[in-house]
Structure 1
Amino acid sequence: MARNGRGEGEDYLPDNNKNQTGLFKLFQVVSFLVVFVVGVVIGLATSAHINRHFGSQTEIYSFINHFSSPSNDTTPPPEKEQTKCCTASVAPSCERVDCLSMETFLEPNNLTHGMTDTELFWRASMVPITKEYPYQRVPRVAFMFMTRGPLPLMPLWERFFQGVDNKLFTVYIHVDPGYKVNASTSSPFYRREIPSQPVSWGTVTLVDAEKRLLANALLDFSNERFVLLSESCIPVYNFPTVYKYLIGSKYSFVESYDNPGRFGRGRYSRKMLPHIQLYQWRKGSQWFELSRTLATIIIADVKYYTLFSNYCLPACYPDEHYLPTYFNMFHGSLNSNRTVTWVDWSVGGPHPAMYGGDNVTEDFVRSIRNNGALCQYNSEMTSICNLFARKFAPTALEPLLELASSVMEF
């Protein structure tokens, strides 16, 4: 008999086949449930990740917009941000400059910086290997003034620099921290104070100040000669004479001589052995003039500076022995062994004679300029031996100004 109906064939399946069919359908249901659950889990996880992603992006954009969008704060920016800023600066009132440009690198236009002495000396000791300059270099003379505060003879120096192209010279001033020199905006002394530290007479802090001045001046690659001066120093020749004399010299001017007495060898410490021998010990005036080569060498020295810092203690004065001894040991061929700054030690004692207004006469100034003695300049002899002089009191300013034109020729 024929059988009709959709399940007709199943009635004729064997029992094993029926069991397999049921298991297969059960497997399909379970698989479907597993896939469904896995899909739900993945969906929930993906949704949470997307929410977190866009939430974090919103926070980042909010952080960026906080600095890049104009602020509602009406507080004026600090003074230092109103001058010159790097191109990456966000200060709205800055004059943008390229801080990696050759001009900014070769000639820093702002003496203010936050470098420590160690960082400054390292930076200033960098020397280019390439001999040729990638720009039209005009050598400059750096006039470096070391003083506690005021510069009472500054009007005389302003007269000395008057009419001189500022490409030929620079001025640097080391004063007590926080002190500002009272100079007009047109003065070459205006804002020329360098970052400084306290200085005590007779200690290694004087050498620190000297090196600090040299290092800041070395940051200007056009500075070729470096003169150390005090607030009591004066020029005794005009600028063209001084410039030609220093730029044309093959040697530096650091006084260095052997003094066998108690003020010379008597200040030597055997603790400096074996690095410094007694026969190498020298004495000289603190007021030096250096070439760029020797200035860089002094900035880079750590070993011998440390010896003097540790063992040249009162009554040993590092500023009178460090450079004279160091150059005698290693660079005597580059030094003239004399100073170009006149001073009178005839009065005796720890300080030279001080000259006030009553002492300043035409004959006196002329005797400093030329007293009949000759000195060696390069390979020749010359009567111009002193370009500067000290010590002059504030009362000497007026008579010096009166003699500037007729005697000193500026």
Structure 2
Amino acid sequence: MSTKNVQQQQQHVVVPAAVVAAMATPCPVGLLRCAIPLLFGFAVGIAVAVSLLGSATPAVPGGDLELFFPLPPAAANLSDVRQRQPSSTTTTTERRQPEREPTTIRSPLQPVDTSGNNSTPQALRVVGVKGQETAAAASGIDTSDDDELMNLAAAAPRETAAGAVPKVAFLFLTRWDLPMAPLWEKFFEGHRALYSVYVHTDPAFNGSDAVEGSAFHRRTIPSKEVKWGHISMVEAERRLLAHALLDRSNARFLLLSESHVPLFDFPTVYSYLINSSKVFLESYDEPGGTGRGRYKRGMSPAVTIGQWRKGSQWFEMDRGLAVDVVSDGVYFPVFKRFCKRNCYADEHYLPTFLGIRRPSAIANRSVTWVDWSHAGPHPARFTRLDVTPDFLGWLRGGSGGTCVYNGETTTLCFLFARKFLPNSLTRFLRFAPKVMGFG
């Protein structure tokens, strides 16, 4: 307050004459006659002072009282708290109701248009809850301890939670980063309620995490070193499955690599996997050196040579089989002990295990296309010049062949393809909107 304002207020202060007279009266008489005027004068003076201070101070609720009796901090902020509270007309149920996100799914066996004209009608509407917990946060355990993690996942329910919208868990087994991540971001966009992502990378990889809002943000699980052709590949697969099982809404589980690319939009892939009566895993008997020739005699009697099977590493399975895999205390220990030195457990463990336990559940094919037409231990790789609309249309059309889906013959056989080099990303981003229906 300025000096000028204070002077102006002082000019308008009028002290009642009774007050002045009472305060100036001498007390030659008794104490009682002196005390009464003094008390009256003191009370009137306090009232005048409060009135003056109130007129010179902004009108704040409780402001005058706080000059003499300061309120505790909680009471001082009470008005702010009341303003932030939801309206009393909103019920508790309405406040807790999760936000819903609609997603449209087409029939998995609708004809596939490989010409680039994606005018397929939308058939099925699925509603899901937004958001998903990270596996580590949901578990509350030390997920870097494989034994503890497997025990927890083995106790997970074999069915999805009642009322939950089933999700597909995308399990990325990578060496370092995910160079095709921008393409996958386009693929996942708009379908947050229907998928989960889990990434297993080399523990030495120190790349920065994906930005918040990305499908890959904080989705890397506690990982361990993986060696090609070693049992550590299977351990990483089981680690991914175990983390994904901690989310009770995950219904299907799909293993992918850093060189995988999607060939169709998300609704097509989701519907194809969720509605399948089979799981997509190869399991066949190969008599040659790359099949039965890798069998180790020490595995008998748990695994006989007649039960030995081979197949692609890139599997897709349902929740019940995933629980069987992480709880396997019979076959996995045998593979871990004996499948060494040119045994390649990643090509034999799951085909053998599921071939023994649930052969009728297997479609005996993979939904990932790779080119094994060249000799050697690895499939062919593709660069940016290989990525053309014609090539992608050929892959989407079954690569010239047919397969069986839920008892019907179809050309929609491969949902993904792999071994595409990072420099092919720009071509995929360019052709995906026209050819693959997303982006």
Match of 1:123 among 149, 152, 155: 152
Give the alignment partner of residue 342 of structure 2, picking from 315, 337, 350.
315
Give 1:279 shift.
Answer: 1.4
Residue 167 of structure 1 and its aligned partner are, at CA, apart by: 1.4
Which of 315, 321, 325 is 1:298 aligned to? 325
Q: Distance in 2 between matches of 1:375 and 1:181?
A: 41
Q: What's 1:17 paired with?
A: none
Give, in angstroms, the shift of residue 332 of structure 1.
0.5
Q: 1-side partners of 2:160 and 2:243: how far apart?
A: 23
How many angstroms does 1:181 deviate by? 5.1
State whether residues 167 and 252 of structure 2, in contact with CA within 8 Å, keep that contact through their aligned partners in structure 1: yes
Partner of 1:384: 412
Q: 2 CA distance for matches of 1:308 and 1:376?
A: 31
Alignment of 1:198-347 (within 5 A): 198-347=225-374
Which amino acid in structure 2 is aligned with residue 379 of structure 1?
A: G
Structure 1 residues 151-230: aligned runs within 5 Å: 151-164=178-191, 166-177=192-203, 179=205, 180=207, 182-230=209-257
Measured in 2, the distance between the counterparts of 1:307 and 1:194 equals 26
Question: Which residue of 2 is the match for residue 60 of structure 1?
Answer: none
User: What residue identity is the alignment partner of 1:387?
Assistant: L
| Whole-angstrom distance in 2 between the partners of 1:262 and 1:140 | 39
**Please, which of 388, 391, 394 is the counterpart of residue 422 of structure 2?**
394
Which amino acid in 2 is paired with 1:174? H
* TM-score, normalising length: structure 1: 0.71
Aligned to 2:15: none
Describe the shift of the 1:285–1:128 C-alpha distance in structure 2 as closer, same or farther (beyond 3 A): closer
Give the distance between the partners of 2:374 and 2:160, measured in 1 at CA. 49
Counterpart residue type for residue 123 of structure 1: L
Instruction: State whether residues 282 and 328 of structure 1, in contact with CA within 8 Å, keep that contact through their aligned partners in structure 2.
Output: yes
Question: CA shift at 1:133, angstroms?
Answer: 4.2
Cα offsets for 1:195-233 (capped at 9, x unmatched): 111111110000000000000000000000001000000
* TM-score normalised by structure 2 residue count: 0.67
**1:313 Cα shift?**
0.9
1:343, CA displacement in angstroms? 0.3
| Deviations 1:323-374, CA, capped at 9 Å, x for gaps | 0011111101111111000000111111111101011111111111112311
| Alpha-carbon distance in 2 for matches of 1:183, 1:379 | 41
TM superposition outliers: structure 1 runs of 4+ over 4 Å: 131-134
One-letter amino acid matched to 2:334? L
Cα distance, 1:275 vs structure 2: 1.4
What are the ranges of 5 or more consecutive residues in structure 1 without an aligned counterpart?
Answer: 1-105
Q: How far apart in 2 are the matches of 1:341 and 1:314?
A: 27
Q: Which residue of 1 aligns with 2:123?
A: none
RMSD between superposed Cα atoms in Å = 1.7
Describe the shift of the 1:225–1:181 C-alpha distance in structure 2 as closer, same or farther (beyond 3 A).
Answer: farther
How many Å separate the matches in 1 of 2:433 and 2:193? 23
Which residue in 1 is equivalent to 2:437?
Answer: 409
Give the letter aligned to residue 319 of structure 1: D
- Measured in 2, the distance between the counterparts of 1:278 and 1:219 equals 35
User: 1:167 aligns to what SS in structure 2?
Assistant: helix
Contact 1:234 1:388 in 2 (8 A): yes
Give how far 1:132 is off.
8.7
User: Does the CA contact (< 8 Å) of 1:181 and 1:190 recur in 2?
Assistant: no
Partner of 1:361: 388
Are the equivalent residues in 2 in contact too, given 1:181–1:193 (CA < 8 A)?
no
User: Percent identity of the aligned residues?
Assistant: 50
Counterpart residue identity of residue 260, structure 2? C
Secondary structure (helix, strand or coil) at the match of 1:278 reads coil
Specify the code of the residue in structure 2 equivalent to 1:121: M
Deviation at 1:273, TM superposition (A): 1.0
Instruction: Classify the secondary structure of the residue corresponding to 1:170.
Output: strand
Q: For residues 110 and 245 of structure 1, do their structure 2 counterparts lie closer, same or farther at Cα, with a shift above 3 Å needed?
A: closer
Q: Structure 1: how far apart are the matches of 2:387 and 2:255?
A: 23
Inter-partner Cα distance in structure 2 for 1:128 and 1:298: 13
The residue identity in structure 2 corresponding to 1:346 is: S
After superposition, residues 126-145 of structure 1 pair within 5 angstroms as 126-128=155-157, 133-134=161-162, 136-145=163-172
CA contact (8 A) 1:252 1:334 kept: yes
Larger Rg: 1
**CA gap 1:224/1:193 in 2 versus in 1, 3 angstroms:** same
Following superposition, the deviation at residue 178 of structure 1 comes to 5.1
CA distance in 1, matches of 2:245, 2:341: 30
Gaps of 5+ in 2: 1-130
